[in-house]
Structure 1
Amino acid sequence: MGLESLDLARWQFGITTVYHFILVPFTIGMSLLVALMETLWYRTGKEYWLKATRFFGKLFLINFALGVATGIVQEFQFGMGWSEYSRFVGDIFGAPLAFEALLSFFMESTFLGVWIFGWGKISKKAHVVVAWLVMVGVNTSMLWIIGANSWMQHPVGAHFDPETGRATLDSAAAFFSVVLNSTMWLAVFHVVTSSILLAATIVAGISIWWMVRSANAGGIGETEAREVWRPIARWGMTIMLVAGILTVASGHLQGQHLVYYQPGKMAAAEGLCSGESGALALFAFSDCPTDIQKEGDKWPVVEAGIGKIPGVLGFVAHNSFQRTIAGMADSSERTANLFEKIKAAEPKSPNTDTAATSGLKGQGDVADYSWAPYAPPMLITFWSFRLMMGLGVFMAALAIIGLYQTRGGKVATSKGLSKLALITLPMPFLSAMFGWIMTEIGRQPFIVYPNVDAFDENYELTNVGLGGVYMLTGDGLSGVVNPIELLISLIGFTVLYLVLGIIWFRLLVRYSKEGINTPAADGGPVSASQELTFA
């Protein structure tokens, strides 16, 4: 039938991961904002903060439930479709996943139950503390998951055991190396700031939409727009600006980190096929040419991108307009040379006369990725990187325009601002999705990326055990799951996730349209929001 198990397994895991990560940043960011809203209510006594806590708390709970459901599936995929990967890295990868499940998940789910059912049953102060404990649980859960993924991007602390053919941790110090991984903490910084930006965009966007609608209704609606929606909207937009600046800063630090640890990914993200350049390409519509030849000892500079801005890439990568970065072909050639040094230095397998295989069992599928064997797909990496950043323009525009139109106690009535708020709502979700695609596709063709820390500044191998910890994506695939089984599960998960996505979207829209008050919750008069909704 022409079905390839590797392609199907990639699609299956990619679809579930992208869908799951649409939900994750919402949960991370909103857990903090809801805790802040409830704290503001407790400290100021202003009733609209209590209403905002309950209103946005509903959206948080809907998202949390769907996030848990979609995340569980990935745990099974590691042991089924990707069992060879799990066998190779299980001693390391399993540790942060176990901490996430046994500590963080139980913490967040337990205190979330107290938060949901504790209204009126525990003191206000205790309820606020519970809200913050939920936030801590959510964010530490994220920390362990990002830690596991960051180890795949930069495998520190482990060494390759030729007798078992696995990557192992042999001490507490090695485990703490995983926990203190620089890649992990830069990724956590970026995920947290971008998640806060996403959640703040949701708070600001919905609040702006209701403010404009209520103000144009007049009467009680104008009062609600001024006394409830305007302060919440301005609070959300202020957080958007701060989180946006921090997101740019954290992304900049991550990019500079990648130049050293994953140079092929950064070269692909910038459309630099080979040679060295410091020019930033704005657009690219074709992949790298396949007929590039060496000139002497260097590749000719070939860039797939157009609309180049000189010096900007050097600044992005090195904070210097005079610096350059190496292209994908150069990075691929260097990686191939590193592998040769690792293989030459590896001890002999106890059962054979050949060197142990380390994480690289074969190179049969690497040529399918690109014209350079160890280079990632250029166009996907290039455009996902730009779409991730470009979608931020909508968020910046909403925050700046919204704050300007509500300055000096003004209540915005512009329907154009209301439309901009609605258009902006999906943008942070899409931005997070493209960011994750760039992170994972740009790591290819590796599922565990080689660690350059095993080499010195002259790329001489100094740590054989650490150097042996790497794996091609194709080598992580299960050898017993056939293409038909993968196809059936791929279709099943895709349809299931589509249904869950529709339910998620309809629930968010429904509760957003209900407004900030509900008769069942407050037992009082219907608010302007409800008059507008149910009229």
Structure 2
Amino acid sequence: MDQLDLARWQFGITTVYHYIFVPLSIGLSFLVAVLETAYVRTGKEHYKRAAKFWGKLLLINFAIGIATGLVQEFQFGMAWSDYSRYVGDIFGAPLAIEALLAFFLESTFLGLWIFGWDKLPKWAHAACMWVVAVGTMLSAYFILAANSWMQHPVGYRINAETGRAELTDFLAVITNSTLLSAFPHVIFACFMTAAALMIGIAAWHLARGRHADVMRPSLKLAAWTMVVAALGVVISGDMQARIMTEQQPMKMAAAEALYDTVAPASFSVFTIGSLDGKDEVFSIRVPRLLSFMATGRWDGEVEGINDVQRREVATYGDGDYRPIVPVTYWTFRLMIGTGLAAAALAAALLFLTGRPGRWIRGLWPRRIGPRDGDTVPRWVWRAAVWAIPLPILANSFGWIFTEMGRQPWVVYGMLRTADGVSPSVSAGTVAASLTVFTLLYVILGVIEFRLIRTYAMNGPEAPPEPDEAQPEQRQLAFAY
């Protein structure tokens, strides 16, 4: 592989790896804030224990996310200096706001949350986590503003003397139509990711009849969050598909491996055939669905790869403007499939653990549950544990599709990926840094997994003894 290939591999590995931790931090901060708010409003001790338990997992993930984020910033400057020089004037504004406002906001109030237990008023302590949750979302917004500019450049001019893109309208950058459709899609996916972790860990404890007072409300909160967030992902994804078709028609055509323009266009759930689209051996299709996804009309016309290629050659000059079609085709389907599987699992879990699922639960003679009279079979909890990796995979496939589908552009219509790589950095240097980053990420991954696994399996802290509780807690315990 040459310098460009190695630099692209480095960017892909560092970005996908870093994004494993980001959605967990965003989603968990929101769920922890909800649990602590429940404690403030009800005074029930198990909500406080739940907030502390899930907050501990949030802190571990947050710390690892910072470390991987620093590497992400470093590799931009090292392997992509021409890209950084070209877009630095525009990228600097949203990324500076993210670092100075959002990151410091969430870091400061996360510190207050860590050390403020039993020192701050309960409402003020819970407010700290809400500020953290808002801060993580603001971080996501400004980082997505930078990425959305790469997908759909707005609010800029090209300086003919320096050959750089310069910011002319910051408001246009932070109200980019690509950003406004991508942000809710990403945030809902973050909620799904954190909810899946909560579902899996809660189910693991409930299968063993442990910490039921903490895990049952956690499971219910997470399952409902997963279902509602999945609905939000579908709606926002539908909006995003139409904007993508308008701004990057090649990406939508490649997502379906559609080579010739057609109306109406069907969506292939699964297809086996040649890469050029001429020979189709087997395909499962949903009639007219692609037309609706791309245009909002069931009979809408969707441009094919060949037609878009001819138009882009006429616009930008000779070159191959097609992404790697098998990558875009399969990552698009794997993103949708793993996301829907996670949502279906959460919906099934709500049904099986609720009153409507009693007749199904009664079919299994061996029953185990977290409270007297519960009839949830063990296999339900075991299946729920598998919810954990599904949204993580969906996020990874989604980002691979987003970035790979834009190729050969690093800034769509303005700067090709081959022109953004560092000219003075050799392939050997990039290969060495890629090796170091990969080894570092393996080490960080092992640390993250062991810490999360250890604290997750240990479970929440034991409830206080009645004589150790505060007076108001003793009164609540007596009343209960």
Give me the TM-score of the superposition, normalised by structure 2.
0.89
Q: Deviations over 1:349-379 (max 9, x none)?
A: xxxxxxxxxxxxxx7xx5xxxxxx1111111
Match of 1:231 among 192, 213, 217: 217
Instruction: Find the aligned partners of 1:522 and 1:73 in 2 and give their Cα distance.
Output: 48
Q: Write the deviation string for residues 199-252 of structure 1: whole angstroms up to 9, x where unpaired.
A: 1121122212212210xxxxxx5xx53x33222211211111111111111111
Alignment of 1:42-57 (within 5 A): 42-57=40-55
Indicate the larger mover: 303-312 or 185-194.
303-312
Cα distance in 2, alignment partners of residues 523 and 387 from structure 1: 54
* Cα distance, 1:302 vs structure 2: 8.2
Give 3-state SS (helix, strand or coil) of 2:346's partner: helix
Separation in 1, partners of 2:245, 2:449: 38
Which stretch has the larger CA shift, 90-99 or 274-283? Answer: 274-283
Of the candidates 237, 250, 271, which is equivalent to residue 251 of structure 1? 237
Between the aligned partners of 1:304 and 1:160, the Cα distance in structure 2 is 48
| Structure 1 residue aligned with 2:172 | 177
User: Partners in 2 of 1:161 and 1:5 — Cα distance?
Assistant: 28
Contact kept, 8 Å, 1:272 with 1:304, in 2: the verdict is: no
Counterpart pick for 1:333 among 292, 295, 310: 310
Q: TM-score, with normalisation over the residues of structure 1?
A: 0.81
- The equivalent of 1:138 in structure 2 is 136
Q: Does 1:379 align with 2:335?
A: no
| Residue of structure 1 in register with 2:440 after alignment | 496
The one of 394, 406, 416 equivalent to 1:443 is 406
CA contact (8 A) 1:274 1:302 kept: no
The reply to whether residue 67 of structure 1 matches residue 11 of structure 2 is no
Match of residue 510, structure 1, among 454, 458, 479 = 454
Q: Secondary structure at the residue paired with 1:189?
A: helix
Q: 1:160 aligns to what SS in structure 2?
A: strand
User: Shift of residue 120 of structure 1?
Assistant: 1.4
SS of 1:114's partner is: helix
Q: Which runs of 5+ in 2 are unaligned?
A: 356-370, 470-480
Which amino acid letter does the alignment assign opposite residue 280 of structure 1?
Answer: F
1:161 equivalent among 145, 148, 159 = 159
Query: Given that residues 212 and 412 in structure 1 are in contact (C-alpha distance below 8 angstroms), is that contact kept between their aligned partners in structure 2?
Result: no
Q: Do the aligned partners of residues 412 and 200 (structure 1) sit closer, same or farther apart at CA in structure 2, a change above 3 Å counting?
A: farther
Tell me by how many angstroms 1:401 deviates.
2.2
User: 1:250/1:521 Cα in 2 relative to 1: closer, same or farther (>3 Å)?
Assistant: farther
Relative to 1, partners in 2 of residues 1:305 and 1:435: Cα closer, same or farther, differing over 3 Å? farther
Q: Distance in 1 between matches of 2:280 and 2:155?
A: 36
Q: Which moved more, 1:248-257 or 1:74-83?
A: 74-83
Distance in structure 1 (CA, Å) of the matches to 2:419 and 2:50: 50
Is the 8 Å Cα contact of residues 201 and 428 (structure 1) preserved in structure 2?
yes
SS of the aligned residue for 1:308 comes to strand
Instruction: Indicate if the aligned counterparts of 2:203 and 2:382 stay in contact, CA closer than 8 A.
Output: no
Residue 425 (structure 1) aligned with residue 388 (structure 2): yes
Task: Mark the CA change 1:335 to 1:305 in structure 2 (over 3 Å): closer, same or farther.
Answer: farther
Task: Kindly indicate whether the alpha-carbon contact (under 8 Å) linking 1:100 and 1:144 is maintained by their aligned counterparts in 2.
Answer: yes
2:419 is aligned, of 451, 454, 475, to 475
**C-alpha deviation, 1:33, in angstroms:** 0.8
1:275-290 correspondence to structure 2 within 5 Å: 275-277=261-263, 278-285=265-272, 288-289=275-276
Counterparts in 2 of 1:306 and 1:524: CA distance versus 1, 3 Å: farther
Match in the other structure for 2:284? 307
**3-state DSSP of counterpart to 2:267:** coil
Query: What is the distance in 1 between the residues matched to 2:180 and 2:220?
Result: 30
SS at match of 2:49: helix
Judging changes above 3 Å, is the alpha-carbon distance between structure 1 residues 382 and 188 closer, same or farther for their aligned structure 2 residues? same
Tell me the residue number matched to 1:194.
189
Distance 2:395 2:411 in 1: 22
One of 423, 429, 434 as aligned partner of 1:485: 429
Secondary structure in structure 2 of the residue aligned to 1:326: coil
- CA displacement, residues 434-466 of structure 1 (integer Å, 9 cap, x when unaligned): 11101100010100002xxxxxxxxxxxxxxxx
Which of 402-411 and 5-14 deviates more? 402-411
SS at match of 1:159: strand
- Equivalent residues of 2:199, 2:388 under 8 A apart: no
Structure 1 unmatched runs, 5+ = 215-220, 293-300, 341-362, 367-372, 451-469, 526-535
Aligned pairs, number = 452
Deviation at 1:47, TM superposition (A): 1.6
1:324-403 aligned within 5 A: 324-339=301-316, 373-403=320-350
Change in 2 beyond 3 A, CA 1:522/1:146:
farther
| Structure 1 residues 125-173: Cα deviation after superposition (integer angstroms, max 9, x where no partner) | 1101111111111111111111100000000111212121111113xxx
Shift of 1:102: 1.2
Q: 1:304 to 1:494 in 2, by over 3 A?
A: farther
In 2, Cα distance between equivalents of 1:480 and 1:236 = 49
SS of 1:481 mapped into structure 2: coil
- Measured after TM superposition, the shift of residue 21 of structure 1 is 0.6
In the TM superposition, residue 71 of structure 1 has moved relative to its aligned partner by 0.6
- Measured after TM superposition, the shift of residue 505 of structure 1 is 1.1
Q: Which residue does 1:94 correspond to in 2? A: 92
* Structure 1 partner of 2:477: none
Q: 1:287: how far off?
A: 5.6
Instruction: Determine the C-alpha separation between the residues in 2 that align with 1:262 and 1:520.
Output: 58
Corresponding position of 1:532 = none
Change (3 A) 1:521 1:24: farther
The answer as to 2:203 corresponding to 1:208 is yes
Distance 1:420 1:523, change over 3 A: farther
Question: Compared with structure 1, are the counterparts of its residues 238 and 6 closer, same or farther at alpha carbon in structure 2 (3 Å cutoff)?
Answer: same
> Is the alpha carbon distance of 1:523 and 1:184 closer, same or farther for their aligned partners in structure 2, counting shifts above 3 Å?
farther
Report if the CA contact (8 A) 1:274-1:303 is conserved.
no
Q: Distance in 2 between matches of 1:269 and 1:430?
A: 18
Greater CA deviation, 122-131 or 327-336?
A: 327-336
- Return the match for 2:122 from 97, 121, 124: 124
What letter is aligned with 2:17?
A: Y
Residue deviations 1:286-343 (CA, integer Å, cap 9, x gap):
5632xx9xxxxxxxx8889832332111111122221121112211221222225xxx
For 1:90 and 1:518, the matched residues in 2 are separated by 51
Assess if the C-alpha contact under 8 Å between 2:30 and 2:133 holds in 1.
yes
Identity value in percent: 46
Separation (CA, whole Å) in 2 of partners of 1:237 and 1:499:
32
- SS state of the match for residue 156, structure 1? coil
